Structure 1
């Protein structure tokens, strides 16, 4: 039979027969010396069909050659080993496909999950930094921002900027999704949030939905655009002085007059003088790196920033006396506050210009 007729009889393509010939698996029964045409005999059909089935089963060419050359026992061993390898490959493929699908769903999901107590704690730290005067409506809100496995809460009253970051499950989008919710509403919902083992946040156009074992809460969102707080963070110059002090002693040295101005002098140690008691400066033990600096704050700005921190110690990162100071918990960087200083001569009760 010509190669075309034989190919149709064996249910393979002529190119496959040429490939088998080149590989030495199945030689033509005869080749015309003048034309080079290949001719096959009927008794070669079974061998070609067997090779086709082995190849369709995924058996490598070398294994096919070994199987054809060996006894039945070799064929049984080779085929059993091949099937086991294929089954393992299917298991690996199934596991990888499941993982890939989960990642795809994460990238398109609008759901964030985290423990309720952690979210409630973050709200308690950040919400007090929101503006309460109502002069700029959006500053009375808290920005809730999700991106790349992190949930961030941000609030500012122009003199203080509070930021809390938390690791979350179920959110891997690179592009942040954000919403602004009024701080008072978050405060009202905070107790319920803290009672939930797990809280799921779903972002929608007009609200953020909270789901937990205890039910659900809908938090309407504000339409106004939240200030570009990252510009402030990115614009801070190099830190020149760092102060690490016991938080309890630091807070005690600030006093309790909400109208006071606080003058801090960093020069070998930390000295704090309040305008409420200008005759006496209070020394606070501190670990200081960098040069000496004198800087002033309103009590209403610095005290809440320190009080909202976590851990026994607090860190102040000072670049210049007239630029925002970064306040961090010394043991962790997931909560950060920027506190705006004032001029040393600013009267008590006024934020002043820096």
Structure 2
């Protein structure tokens, strides 16, 4: 058979047959001395087909030569070893492809950098507002949002809503958000505060924290967080603003966790407690209408202690709507506190 006919019969290329000839693997049955044409016999077909299979299996030429010259047992061992090598290569390629895909996805995700001390302080200010009952699992977490040049932490137990925003270096194509269990975030707070800077990277089921001291991965709660912005945006304009010394205010409300606190605002601030203490007057700057409003100690006290600075501001719209609590010199920390129903002190509006 001419080389072309034989190549078609063996399902190889004529260049492959010439290559096998040049390296002494399969010689033509005859070569025309005048023309140099190569001719092959039918008996050579099985050998060339076998070589094709071995080459398709990825065996290098040296192994093909040894396999053709050796016994069947040696061929089995050689092919089994080659198969193991190829399987290992496939697994390695699969792992490398998965890692590359993660890296590509990470490039599209938000990466946030800020001082560890700032993040730790923010966590401490909001984490106590998360729900501890477990009734609604997502409320047991802290929402972490990244957008533009700002990182925001949010926590609520339905009676309090704490929102802390801070400047951060944010690299992202679209806003990113994740919910991390409040206890998990609080456990990481000391480590975070010890880092000069912290990088947050949002993943599929975790938030990765990296700093000079190593790395932490915090698992996320895969449940949508309530739209806290709706609550903030729907609050009416405050009718009464009170700015008071935080320390004196905390002293006046006492330390009884079961107490109901009645606040009377009429040019000044007076606090009455159901714990039986004498009414306490707190020096305050008041603007707006007189109002009477009540809180449970367990909601008001944490909101006051979370603030920073010597003064605190209360923005009151109505006695039956959430009150905005802000540190007077730290406007990026906002806490909403739900009032409690109480008896109406004489001369003031009471909660409905």
TM-score, with length taken from structure 1: 0.66
2:170 alignment partner, SS class:
coil
- Quote the residue 1:299 is aligned against: 297
- Quote the residue 2:309 is aligned against: 311
Matched, 1:330 2:325: no
In structure 2, C-alpha distance between the alignment counterparts of 1:226 and 1:283, rounded to whole Å: 40
- Quote the residue 2:268 is aligned against: 269
**Deviation of residue 158 (structure 1)?**
0.2
CA contact (8 A) 1:269 1:288 kept: yes
**Deviation of residue 277 (structure 1)?**
1.4
In structure 1, C-alpha distance between the alignment counterparts of 2:258 and 2:135, rounded to whole Å: 20
**Deviation of residue 256 (structure 1)?**
0.3
**Deviation of residue 147 (structure 1)?**
0.5
Once the two structures are superposed, residues 193-216 of structure 1 have per-residue CA deviations (whole angstroms, 9 ceiling, x without a partner) of: 000000000001100000000000
Q: Cα–Cα, structure 1 residues 109 and 207, in superposed 2: closer, same or farther, change >3 Å?
A: closer
- Quote the residue 1:162 is aligned against: 162
Once the two structures are superposed, residues 248-302 of structure 1 have per-residue CA deviations (whole angstroms, 9 ceiling, x without a partner) of: 0000000000000000000010000010015x21000000000000000000000
CA contact (8 A) 2:109 2:202 kept: no
**Deviation of residue 172 (structure 1)?**
5.6
- Quote the residue 2:347 is aligned against: none
Once the two structures are superposed, residues 86-116 of structure 1 have per-residue CA deviations (whole angstroms, 9 ceiling, x without a partner) of: xxxxxxxxxxxxxxxxxxxxx9552100000
- Quote the residue 1:222 is aligned against: 221
Segment drifting more, 163-172 vs 176-185: 163-172
**Deviation of residue 171 (structure 1)?**
3.0
In structure 1, runs of 5+ residues without a counterpart are: 1-106, 347-352
CA contact (8 A) 1:208 1:218 kept: yes
In structure 2, runs of 5+ residues without a counterpart are: 1-106, 345-350
CA contact (8 A) 1:109 1:170 kept: no
Alignment of 1:121-200 (within 5 A): 121-171=121-171, 173=173, 175-200=174-199
- Which of these residues, 279, 282, 286, is aligned with residue 281 of structure 1? 279
In structure 2, C-alpha distance between the alignment counterparts of 1:113 and 1:138, rounded to whole Å: 25
In structure 1, C-alpha distance between the alignment counterparts of 2:285 and 2:260, rounded to whole Å: 23
2:171 alignment partner, SS class:
coil
Q: Cα–Cα, structure 1 residues 188 and 256, in superposed 2: closer, same or farther, change >3 Å?
A: same
CA contact (8 A) 2:202 2:208 kept: yes
- Quote the residue 2:200 is aligned against: 201
CA contact (8 A) 1:141 1:180 kept: yes
Cα RMSD (Å) of the superposition?
1.8
1:256 alignment partner, SS class:
coil
Once the two structures are superposed, residues 32-66 of structure 1 have per-residue CA deviations (whole angstroms, 9 ceiling, x without a partner) of: xxxxxxxxxxxxxxxxxxxxxxxxxxxxxxxxxxx
Q: Cα–Cα, structure 1 residues 205 and 108, in superposed 2: closer, same or farther, change >3 Å?
A: closer
- Quote the residue 1:344 is aligned against: 342
CA contact (8 A) 2:150 2:166 kept: yes
1:127 alignment partner, SS class:
helix
In structure 2, C-alpha distance between the alignment counterparts of 1:307 and 1:166, rounded to whole Å: 19
In structure 2, C-alpha distance between the alignment counterparts of 1:122 and 1:263, rounded to whole Å: 29
